[in-house]
Amino acid sequence: MRTRNIVFAVVGAAALVFKSSYAGPFDEVVYAYGGNFVVSFALYFAAVSATQRYRHPCLGAALIALLAVTAFEISDGFGFMANVYDPVDLPANAAGVGFAIMADLLSARLIGGKAP
C-alpha cells in the first residue's frame, strides 16, 4: 500500500503542476479551487503512509491533512507563501480529503488488500 500512497500523492502533485494547462468546462472553478482540491488529496496520501501503524489510519491522515491545509489558508500561506484567503477554499480542501478517502478505500478493495 505504501507504493500506492506514493503514486496517489505524486498524481495529486502533478495535477497541481498541470492545473494551469486546463482548458475545459468550469475552468474558472478549476483555476480557483482545483489547487486546493489536489493539494489536499496529495497531502492525505502523504500522511496516510505515516499513520498506517495506528488503529484508524484514514482518520488520522484526514485530520492531519485538514489541519495542515486549514492552517495554511487561515494564516494566509504561513506568512511567507503567496495565498489569497477565500472562504470557499476550506470546503474545496475538505472535498479533496473526502475524495482521497474514497480513493483510498476503493483502491484498497480493488487491490485485494484489507480496507484501512
Residues 6 or more apart in contact with residue 81 via CB below 8 angstroms: 72
- Write down the pLDDT at residue 20: 86
- Write down the pLDDT at residue 9: 94
Cell output for 44:
492525505
- Write down the pLDDT at residue 73: 85
Task: Give CA–CA dist 33/17, Å, rounded.
Answer: 14
- Write down the pLDDT at residue 53: 86
Task: Give CA–CA dist 24/48, Å, rounded.
Answer: 32
Domains of the chain by residue range: 2-111
- Write down the pLDDT at residue 63: 95
Q: What is the mean pLDDT of each run of 10 residues along the chain (116 residues)?
A: 90 92 90 92 93 88 94 78 81 96 92 66
The pTM of this model reads 0.86
